[in-house]
Amino acid sequence: MSSSMLRYVIYGIGGIFAIIVIAYIVISKKMNKSEYKQLQKLRQGTETKGFSKEVMYQKLYITYSKIPFLKSYIFKLRRRLEILNIDDEYATRRDSAKILSKTLLILIPIITLSIILTHTNYLILSIILIFEIFMTDSFINGMVDGMDNNLLKEQLDFFAEIRHAYHEFNMVEEAIYQISQDDEKNISRQGEKIYEVLIANEPEIELEKYYDVAPNSYLKEFAGISYLTKEFGDRKVDKSSLYLKNVNNITEEMQIEILKRDKIDYVFQSLSIISIVPVLGLEPLKNWAVGNFSFTESFYRGRSGMIVQILVIIITIICYLLLRKIKNNGSTDKNRQTTENPWQAKLYRNAIAKKIVDAFIPKKGTKEYLKVQKTLKDSASKQKMEWLYINRLTLALVTFIISIFIFVELHVVSTDWIYNEPTTDYDLITGLTGNELETAMAVTESDNKFLDMFKGNKETTVADIERAMQRSDDYAESKEEDIEESAQRVWDKLQKINKEYLGWFEVLLSVVFMIIAYMSPMWLMYFQFKIRQMEMEDEVMQFQTIILMLMRIERVNVEMILEWLERYANIFKEPLARCVNNYEAGAWEALEELRTETTYQPFVRIIESMQAAVEKIPIRDAFDELDSERDYYQAKRRESNDRLIAKKAMIGKVIGFAPMVIMFVGYLIVPLVYIGLTSMSSTMSNVG
């Protein structure tokens, strides 16, 4: 990078910083008249002296909520954190501002580095900047997942303390109340909410409301078991409290889940970074190759190099998306897709947009409609049909426009290289240096005058160029043979330039890319469904734990077990929901329908046991093997998780390293070998 360019970059960064400072001062003055002023009143009498991070994050939250671009991110964050910080507005604002601030601290240096490395290539720079802004979601999701994991670990200590408190008070609600008095822990807020549910006038209704906002299934299970114990009472099983045995079962489930998440985080902690490194390494690699092997300049400065660069970036984006899908541990995924009022819903309310979208949506009841609907359910997508097609159409349109723009830009790059390539009659593997380079560039500058003169005129002949050269001062003392040779060279360049325009084949390719983009959301859902299928065994084993907790509680029946399974299901949620809805019309028939549409054998065995419990034997006898073989199922669950993690790790490594391999092989090794061999062959033939 030249010193002048570096100076401009520094000035630009300084200007941006000055704008941020000015904006902060202006916003601060506005805040003194509104929300910030109210916050100051609340702090009176409790304000600590000196610097306070808590107060700083509250101020930052208000600032971020007034900046248009950051406003959407801060509100998206708070929607997810409201689940973790239940009924605590102060903590929600603090955590939202903290996560967004950390994300900006990571993102701004990366964006600055990208500008410095790729400032000469505006097309690549634009793509990289869009990709890096898109990465913001990944950073935010990772930090929220970290908070969710910390909450899960706090639950282990919380349940351990519940055991001791229950022995002391012998009352579920009192034990929960006593352990929830620690205000410094996030789990305490959840405990207080569960206590409020248990002492409510209508605890069943409040419990259903809590199920909708509980941050994870283990707190749902704990709240449900606590409610059943309070309503129906506790009893001894094998000389131990049934309630404490169930709490212990939930604890074991959490321990397995924490180990699983820790292992997945360890396996994938560097893969995401490895997958995006090629995006930042393209320009440095190109500069290194051109600097050490100057004969490759024609590839890297021309159309071929640009195409490979774009392909590497596209592959990197695809691999990055797939890695996120594979790594997803499901911790807060249910809250990532909001169904409140996204931009798709706003767009669909527009009459013109609605007509266009409806033209692409299959008619209800048709085979295609049912197929798309099933795909949405199988992938656990929370999108509506209309939103899916808005996404598909938007992606297709954007892809078509970008494809046309890229093809036009490729023609511009090819034309620029013809204008800037050193002109010489021979090809040296070592490239041109010193006087040779100056002479070649002088010839290029002379040729450019005639190219500008005849560019766009497809009727130009070599004779026309010769006559123009004869009248030119550049060839005033040249021989006739030299003029003919130069005219032929300029004419060859002119033919290449005149062909550099957007052709029908490129428009056709753009249409093909548009169709691929239109189908990509469907393919991504298929991929997500395949990943979910890998976790079937883990979900069925969680079902077994739930049944084990319920089977010994008095007044529990098959319908209640189905309701619990449907509440905590992910993969089998849809068939279980249909079974619960149809249960009153015929218990055995509803279970038989569930069994016929399920192919996973361990889940089929659970359904068959429930059928036996409906007509023949008590629930305790139908599932007696779950209790007698508890240790076996736990060991099998751990082994199943290890296999799942190993499979995800193998797929993740292939996808994560793919961009790096493609960059080194396709962008460095292949061009070096191919161009080196062709240059050597050309040089040998010229010498011969």
Nearest to 223 by CA among 167, 188, 172, 157: 172
Would residue 162 be called left, alpha or beta, if left means φ above 0 and alpha means ψ between -120 and 50 degrees?
alpha
pLDDT at 334: 44
Number of C-beta neighbours around residue 21 at 10 A? 10
Quick one: pLDDT band at residue 50, thresholds 50, 70, 90?
Answer: low
Cα dihedral across residues 53, 58, 59, 62: positive or negative: positive
Would residue 251 be called left, alpha or beta, if left means φ above 0 and alpha means ψ between -120 and 50 degrees?
alpha
pLDDT in tens, 23-33: 656 665 655 55
**Alpha-carbon distance values, 188 to 84, 191, 194 (Å):** 11, 5, 10
Per-residue burial over 304-333, b = 16 or more CB atoms within 10 Å of its CB, e = otherwise: bbbebbbebbebbbbbbbbbbbbbbbbbbe
**Residue for token digits 């990772």?**
142
Instruction: Answer yes or no: are the C-beta atoms of 375 and 525 closer than 8 Å.
Output: yes
Quick one: pLDDT band at residue 618, thresholds 50, 70, 90?
Answer: confident
Quick one: pLDDT band at residue 515, thresholds 50, 70, 90?
Answer: very high
Number of C-beta neighbours around residue 364 at 10 A? 9
Range with lowest mean pLDDT among 319-333, 407-421, 665-679: 319-333
User: Is residue 47 pLDDT above 60, yes or no?
Assistant: no
pLDDT at 614: 82
Between these two residues, 88 and 581, which has the higher pLDDT value? 581
pLDDT at 677: 75
Between these two residues, 649 and 23, which has the higher pLDDT value? 649
Neighbour-count burial of 153, counting CB atoms closer than 10 A to its CB (0-12 exposed, 13-18 middle, 19+ buried): middle
Average pLDDT over residues 56-84: 82
pLDDT in tens, 245-304: 888 888 888 888 888 888 888 888 778 778 877 877 777 888 888 777 777 777 877 778
Range with lowest mean pLDDT among 210-224, 270-284, 326-340: 326-340
User: Is residue 477 pLDDT above 60, yes or no?
Assistant: yes
Average pLDDT over residues 212-235: 86
- Residue 572: strand, helix, or coil: coil
Quick one: pLDDT band at residue 49, thresholds 50, 70, 90?
Answer: low
Share of the chain above pLDDT 70, in %: 84
| Cα end-to-end span (Å), the chain | 40
582 CB-near residues (< 8 Å, 6+ apart): 589, 590, 593
User: Is residue 525 pLDDT above 70, yes or no?
Assistant: yes
User: Is residue 36 pLDDT above 70, yes or no?
Assistant: no
Q: Tell me the CB-side half-sphere exposure of residue 622, using CA atoms within 13 A.
A: 23
Average pLDDT over residues 566-593: 86
Residue count (the chain): 688
Q: How far apart are CA 14 and CA 19, in angstroms?
A: 9
